[in-house]
């Protein structure tokens, strides 16, 4: 095997490859942009080379800089990870021309599968089943509309290049086709440099099932069973599991055979994933259709590793070194059940809008044989607007699906993040959702379970405010003790902070806001704690810090005869003191309400400010014209996705503050909008 490996990627996948390479005794070279100079993958690698500015187009997507870094460091091989140049045939060719081993399939295989349209035409001749649709080269908008009318609605418009759910739109009605096509083309051109699309019939109540394949240079090709990736938002996977629930052995074998056929048809080598859409339940009539082949390692590969006991990155490195596959098909078996949840910096309540900021507090669950955390960040790192907002992958394993679900629920409850919005609470509801728990899976699961997954907001329970109050009281006691110790009088009564008064019992109030409501916790000091009263409920409270200190620690809180373990993190954000309370598997953010503290006014009404840094890609309204509430005004491209800014109320667009193509900062005023009274 080669002795030094350059990883042409960043974040979680770079850290993942480094872990296996180090175990195999292979030295690693990280590459990084100026925005990633102190990133975790840079800190973990044996060497690191800066390859350019923050934008991926000026760094991670420049093949010549990656190969120059390989030459300068003497790296014999290049691992592309996933995303960026991982499925770029020209990069694979350039590696070969430079005498570097490309840890991936041959460039010819990438070319064959790089276009979804040409791949479908190729595999149709190999007998792999395809979904009804148009996969041709003609791309005139009117021609595509006629093809869509012939296929019938609903349908999917999909970019022929790339993956990850980008450049994909579902269209329910003929009148929506033109706008969806334009949006799909814009996103595809921005993400993959290719605006060509294909059109396919959209199958309702369908499951997304993919097969992990592996081939070597000795003619061997196997599949490592299937993963169910049906749970998606914005056509991007959220939860993955292996094996797929409810799939019969005969159907598993048929799909595995079709996947191996597809791999052999293009002379595949290395790790790849053949993706299928399965109509209705896979246990009914067994219909399934080829969607695409990803010619790289997948984000969700850990669930396959957990059920097979194999390290797929090790397989990649061994195959790239010319070794045969470690196992034959008959030697592979499924053991237990695994789930993967993608932890994102995003706000599910705002249509999964990505979030940026510093990870002020990051406490993942403890890893074990049953729990694994793959991440590219640590506490204090920044989630920047330049790259995908994934924080980590949380993977769990147990002997069956029921046990794996229980493991995932607990692991999500133990995952505490402060500093950016995350989808952790959403994932907790998703795992507990009846449809998911009962394995009633399809790609519309999130939409049809919307009432369960997006509950109407309600104030936090009393216990949240009681826990926050106890944390604040313990914090005050700790600070008073430190101040007394510094005074030179260790016995100073001011350091006790027990509320002692000469004649009357000490009383005070701590006020918080949960949502728009003010909650006043009345406190009476007692000999062995505090008597707390809120909303007519009174409890005797005690508390102590278990771990982490008084400002970001785990507490044991007793409320009468009930003992709770909670974590409370105190932050000050934009002159506002907040308490992040992690309790009973939920995350609650409440604000300290001080009537003497003046808070700056917020931005424009209705979200007419930029929710994050980005680029204006389209202006959809006419200046000076009246628009209805909810009408699209402009499209902002940020963190690889398009976000539509809509009118908060009926009114008039007086002027746009930015032109198409201009960059905007977080919080920038985008539209001069006048609302009707």
As a three-state string, the secondary structure of 220-258 is CEEEEEEEEEEEEECCEEEEEEECCCCCCHHHHHHHHHH
Paired strand residues for 296: none
- 220 and 320 assigned to the same domain: yes
Strands of 632-638's sheet in order across: 641-646, 632-638, 614-619, 663-664
Nearest one of 458, 462, 459 to 536, comparing CA atoms: 462
CA–CA gap between residue 81 and residue 390 (Å, rounded): 15
25-81 pLDDT per residue, tens: 999 999 999 999 999 999 999 999 999 999 999 999 999 999 999 999 999 999 999
Structural domain of 297: 113-130+204-330
Among the candidates 295, 330, 365, a domain finishes at: 330
CA–CA gap between residue 536 and residue 51 (Å, rounded): 61
CATH code assigned at 85: 3.40.50.20
List of E strands, 243-379? 270-278, 288-294, 337-344, 346-347, 353-354, 357-358, 361-363, 371-375
For residue 434, being part of any structural domain is answered with no
Of 191 and 381, which is predicted with more confidence? Answer: 381
For residue 414, being part of any structural domain is answered with yes
CA–CA gap between residue 391 and residue 586 (Å, rounded): 19
- 44 and 59 assigned to the same domain: yes
pLDDT (0 to 100) of residue 493: 65
Q: At what angle do helices 424-432 and 401-413 cross, to 10 degrees?
A: 150
Structure tokens at 572: 């000050």
Structure tokens at 64: 């010549």
Q: Contact, 644 vs 635, CB < 8 A? A: yes
395-428 pLDDT per residue, tens: 999 999 999 999 999 999 999 999 999 999 999 9
Nearest one of 573, 643, 649 to 610, comparing CA atoms: 643
- 623 and 579 assigned to the same domain: no
Q: Contact, 293 vs 274, CB < 8 A? A: yes
Omega before 154 within 30 of 0, i.e. cis: yes
- 318 and 340 assigned to the same domain: no
Nearest one of 390, 406, 418 to 553, comparing CA atoms: 418
- 626 and 642 assigned to the same domain: yes
Which residues are CB-neighbours of 526 under 8 A, at least 6 positions away?
540
- 119 and 15 assigned to the same domain: no
In the three-class reduction of DSSP (H, G, I as helix; E, B as strand; rest coil), residue 475 is classed as: helix
Share of the chain above pLDDT 90, in %: 68
Place of tokens 């007793």: 558
CATH code assigned at 138: 3.30.1490.20
- 174 and 233 assigned to the same domain: no
pLDDT (0 to 100) of residue 599: 39
- 580 and 490 assigned to the same domain: yes
Q: β-strand 27-33 against 47-52: which pairing, if any?
A: parallel
Nearest one of 569, 564, 571, 576 to 549, comparing CA atoms: 569
Residue 603 has pLDDT above 50, yes or no: no
Paired strand residues for 514: 517
Least confident of 136-140, 215-219, 309-313, 492-496: 492-496
Least confident of 321-325, 337-341, 568-572: 568-572
Share of the chain above pLDDT 70, in %: 92
- 264 and 125 assigned to the same domain: yes
Paired strand residues for 627: 651
Nearest one of 107, 100, 102, 104 to 74, comparing CA atoms: 100
Least confident of 43-57, 108-122, 327-341, 494-508: 494-508
CA–CA gap between residue 189 and residue 567 (Å, rounded): 45
Burial 624-644 (b: 16+ CB within 10 A, else e): eeebeeeeebbbbbbbbbbbe
Which residues are CB-neighbours of 446 under 8 A, at least 6 positions away?
231, 232, 233, 238, 430, 453
Which residues are CB-neighbours of 447 under 8 A, at least 6 positions away?
none
For residue 451, being part of any structural domain is answered with no
pLDDT (0 to 100) of residue 407: 98
Among the candidates 201, 216, 233, a domain finishes at: 201
Of 663 and 78, which is predicted with more confidence? Answer: 78
Structure tokens at 159: 């970019």
Span 255-265, average pLDDT: 94
Nearest one of 488, 374, 418, 469 to 41, comparing CA atoms: 374
CA–CA gap between residue 505 and residue 263 (Å, rounded): 78
The CA-based dihedral angle spanning residues 49, 55, 58, 64, taken in that order and rounded to the nearest 10 degrees: 50
Least confident of 99-113, 284-298, 581-595: 284-298
Structure tokens at 57: 């187009």
pLDDT (0 to 100) of residue 282: 46
Place of tokens 């690693």: 28
Q: Contact, 635 vs 183, CB < 8 A? A: yes
Residue 225 has pLDDT above 70, yes or no: yes
For residue 449, being part of any structural domain is answered with no
- 387 and 274 assigned to the same domain: no
For residue 499, being part of any structural domain is answered with yes
Among the candidates 284, 304, 330, a domain finishes at: 330
Active site residues: 296
For residue 427, being part of any structural domain is answered with no
pLDDT (0 to 100) of residue 392: 98
Q: How confident is the model at residue 548 (pLDDT cuts 50, 70, 90)?
A: confident
Phi, psi of 408 (to 5 degrees): -65, -40
Q: Contact, 156 vs 131, CB < 8 A? A: no
Residue 498 has pLDDT above 80, yes or no: no
Query: Which range, 111-120, 147-156, 282-291, has the best average confidence (pLDDT)?
Result: 147-156
- 123 and 140 assigned to the same domain: no
Place of tokens 């405010």: 465
**Ordered DSSP codes for 143-209:** HHHHHHHHH-SSEEEEESS--TTTTEEEE-SGGGHHHHHHHHHHHHHHHHS---EEEEEPPTT-EEE
Predicted TM-score (pTM) of this structure: 0.85
Q: Contact, 42 vs 9, CB < 8 A? A: no
For residue 92, being part of any structural domain is answered with yes
In the three-class reduction of DSSP (H, G, I as helix; E, B as strand; rest coil), residue 14 is classed as: helix
**For residue 587, what is the DSSP state?**
E
pLDDT (0 to 100) of residue 187: 87
Computed over every residue of the chain, the mean pLDDT equals: 90
In the three-class reduction of DSSP (H, G, I as helix; E, B as strand; rest coil), residue 274 is classed as: strand
CA–CA gap between residue 212 and residue 208 (Å, rounded): 13
CATH code assigned at 372: 3.30.470.20
- 77 and 156 assigned to the same domain: no
CATH code assigned at 476: 3.30.700
Domain count, the chain: 6
């Amino acid at each position: 095997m080669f002795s030094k490996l350059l990883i042409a990627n960043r974040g979680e996948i770079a850290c993942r490859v480094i872990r296996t390479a180090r175990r195999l005794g292979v030295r690693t070279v990280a590459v990084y942009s100026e925005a990633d100079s102190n990133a975790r993958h840079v800190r973990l690698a044996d060497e690191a080379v800066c390859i350019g500015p923050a934008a991926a187009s000026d760094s991670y997507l420049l093949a010549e800089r990656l190969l120059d870094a390989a030459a300068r460091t003497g790296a014999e091989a290049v691992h592309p990870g996933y995303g960026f140049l991982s499925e770029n045939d020209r990069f694979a060719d350039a590696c070969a021309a430079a005498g570097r081993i490309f840890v991936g399939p041959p460039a010819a295989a990438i070319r064959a599968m790089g276009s979804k349209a040409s791949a479908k035409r190729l595999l149709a001749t190999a007998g792999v089943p395809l979904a009804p649709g148009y996969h041709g080269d003609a791309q005139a908008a009117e021609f595509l509309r006629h093809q869509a009318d012939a296929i019938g609605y609903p349908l999917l418009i999909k970019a022929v290049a790339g993956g990850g759910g980008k450049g994909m739109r579902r269209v329910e009605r003929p009148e929506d086709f033109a706008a969806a096509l334009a949006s799909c083309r814009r996103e595809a051109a921005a993400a993959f440099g290719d605006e060509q699309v294909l059109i396919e019939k959209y199958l309702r109540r369908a499951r997304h099932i993919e097969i992990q394949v592996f081939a070597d240079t000795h003619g061997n090709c196997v599949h490592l069973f299937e993963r169910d990736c049906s749970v998606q938002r914005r056509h991007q996977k959220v939860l993955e599991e292996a094996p797929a629930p409810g799939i019969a052995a005969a159907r598993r074998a048929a799909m595995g055979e079709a996947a191996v056929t597809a791999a052999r048809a293009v002379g595949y080598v290395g790790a790849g994933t053949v993706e299928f859409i399965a109509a209705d339940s896979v246990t009914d009539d067994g219909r399934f259709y080829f969607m695409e082949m990803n010619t790289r390692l997948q984000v969700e590969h850990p669930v396959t590793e957990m059920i097979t006991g194999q390290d797929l990155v090790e397989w990649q490195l061994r195959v790239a070194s010319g070794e045969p596959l470690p196992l034959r098909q008959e030697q592979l078996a499924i053991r237990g059940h695994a789930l993967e949840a993608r932890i994102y910096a995003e706000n599910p309540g705002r249509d999964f809008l990505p979030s940026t900021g510093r990870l002020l507090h990051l406490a993942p669950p403890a890893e074990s044989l049953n729990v694994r955390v793959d991440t590219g960040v640590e506490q204090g790192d920044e989630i920047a607007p330049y790259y995908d907002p994934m924080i980590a992958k949380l993977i769990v394993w147990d002997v069956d699906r029921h046990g794996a679900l229980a493991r995932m629920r607990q692991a999500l409850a133990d995952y505490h993040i402060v500093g950016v919005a995350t989808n952790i609470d959403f994932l907790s509801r998703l795992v507990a959702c009846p449809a998911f728990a009962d394995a009633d899976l399809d790609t519309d699961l999130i939409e049809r379970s919307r009432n369960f997954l997006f509950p109407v907001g309600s104030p936090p329970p009393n216990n949240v405010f009681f826990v926050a109050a106890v944390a604040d009281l313990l914090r005050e006691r700790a600070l008073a003790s430190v101040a007394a110790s510094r005074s030179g009088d260790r016995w100073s009564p001011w350091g006790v902070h027990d509320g002692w008064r000469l004649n009357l019992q000490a009383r005070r109030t701590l006020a918080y806001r949960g949502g728009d409501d003010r909650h006043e916790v009345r406190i009476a000091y007692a000999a062995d704690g505090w008597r707390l009263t809120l909303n007519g409920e009174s409890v005797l409270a005690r508390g102590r810090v278990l771990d982490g200190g008084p400002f970001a620690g785990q507490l044991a809180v007793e409320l009468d005869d009930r003992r709770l373990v909670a974590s409370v993190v105190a932050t000050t954000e934009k002159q506002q003191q907040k308490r992040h309370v992690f309790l009973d598997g939920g995350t609650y953010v409440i604000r300290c309400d001080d009537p003497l503290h003046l808070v700056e006014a917020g931005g424009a009404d209705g979200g007419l400010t930029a929710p994050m840094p980005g680029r204006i890609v389209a202006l959809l309204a006419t200046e000076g014209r009246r628009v209805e509430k909810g009408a699209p005004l402009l499209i902002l491209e940020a963190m690889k996705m398009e976000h539509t800014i809509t009118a908060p109320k009926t009114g008039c667009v007086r002027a746009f503050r930015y032109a198409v193509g201009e960059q905007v900062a977080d919080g920038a005023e985008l539209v001069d909008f006048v609302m009707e009274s």
